[in-house]
Structure 1
């Protein structure tokens, strides 16, 4: 077709996927619900021709990013776990473990250490007793930050732009108690900054309550959060807040956070 005597230019062809993007699509094909896949399933979930998937999966298996069992199913390999463990993990976990273990001994319930990734939390450590209250969290698992104690503790001290993104929503509801409106989330984050702790009571499951506190790094920005998750009945948040805040402060001190090296405001008033 012509317009004013000039032929219309064809639309540019979309860029071809790179080898890197194809490899990432293969790794992304594995999920907690589907941790083991056949080569055909990998190709379909990654959107790749079977021959391409077969070649790339073979290379990933040789390197150790994937493993193939005796039935022909592929899983994420230990080499990839080793690399993934380097992400914010070693120094933070080493500093946190003594305090996480103390929190566990105090309750024999669930103890979490998590970091913020966008508007999600990613759990990097969990200690739990066999008969502790049920939780959905798992190491390397994700959960929306607005519904969790660790997430609220970190969002309250996050960059204001990220806070506004969270407040703008949408905010997914899990129970009738989940925060689902921006004004409510803004109010809760202000309360977390005031008290130094976050309480998520029945937001993920009505029978579980999480009490979290922020962990700060050497530049005094929030780098993680620690929390206890206990049954909603039989526990009071106010009895858990001091021990969770103390654990978070101890981890922050171990990481060299200036605010944790100063005496708490309450201690200076008492002195």
Structure 2
């Protein structure tokens, strides 16, 4: 049986969704009365919800008219960009998987974490430590370290909550991590050897835009007992360079 709190939260979400759904593609802005009629909600309820949504920039208000807000468009862009990136990366990831015989992953940096966007699995290969949509601490992963290394912002400074250890091998000293990021920038690849997950080795390289900023990172994962990171690194680096060039020549990618 649902608790009262759970029922209340679902009801609020349903009402907010009804308000958003009330807007049509060609609307020039809606007043609260029209918005309430379309959403089939009391005017007082819509007025209160609209006030909260305006405060959070999900709706814009001009006079007595309400419009879908800029924050919704910002969020839509964050969804569309990964979709295009996955589409562009998939053939390169497949080739990387075929060349190395290892599972390939694609990830982006979000705060102190990396978020996995795509995985191309190798038959019989070991799984990466996170599924699609999953998060991993950037400092503990090759994917995260290579993205931190090539970010113009000071990478270690982003890790405001410290460097928690996932395994005994995870780097937990910011000074040690900073030195490793310097090496990563020089080499163009990052590795983690059982730093994120036991018996897993990962090798990653950054996908850079035309200004040299990291857009994402691509990696391969292998069992620690079988991996030779130095042998995997050239193929991973080549895949990242290929994607960087394709991003540079693909509109809106």
TM-score, normalised to structure 1, is 0.65
Structure 1 residue aligned with 2:14? 57
**Corresponding residue SS for 2:240:** helix
Distance of 2:204 and 2:105 partners within structure 1: 9
Residue number in structure 2 paired with 1:152:
145
Residue matched to 2:156: 163
Compute the TM-score of the two structures, normalised by the length of structure 2.
0.69
- Contact 2:127/2:221 (8 A) holds in 1: no
Q: 1:121: how far off?
A: 0.4
Q: Which residue of 1 aligns with 2:164?
A: 172
The equivalent residue for 2:234 is 242
Q: For structure 1, list consecutive stretches of 5 or more residues without a partner in the other structure.
A: 1-37, 45-49, 65-82, 258-271
Distance 1:62 1:40 in 2: 25
1:167-226 Cα offsets, whole Å, 9 max, x none, are x65101011111110111011101101111001011012210000000011332111000
Q: Is residue 2:200 matched to residue 1:212?
A: no
TM-superposed CA distance for 1:108, in Å, is 3.4
Determine the C-alpha separation between the residues in 2 that align with 1:182 and 1:158.
16
User: Is 1:197 the equivalent of 2:154?
Assistant: no
Partner in structure 1 of residue 66 of structure 2: none
Q: Tell me how far 1:60 sits from its aligned partner.
A: 4.1
Shift of 1:56: 2.7
Q: When the two structures are aligned, how many residues end up with a matched partner? A: 196
* Residue 40 (1) aligns with residue 3 (2): yes
- Give the distance between the partners of 1:170 and 1:161, measured in 2 at CA: 14
Gaps of 5+ in 2: 22-75
2:115 corresponds to 1:137 = no
- 8 Å contact 1:153–1:225 — kept in the other structure? yes
Match of residue 179 from structure 2? 187
Relative to 1, partners in 2 of residues 1:52 and 1:150: Cα closer, same or farther, differing over 3 Å? closer
Superposition deviation, residue 149 in structure 1: 1.0
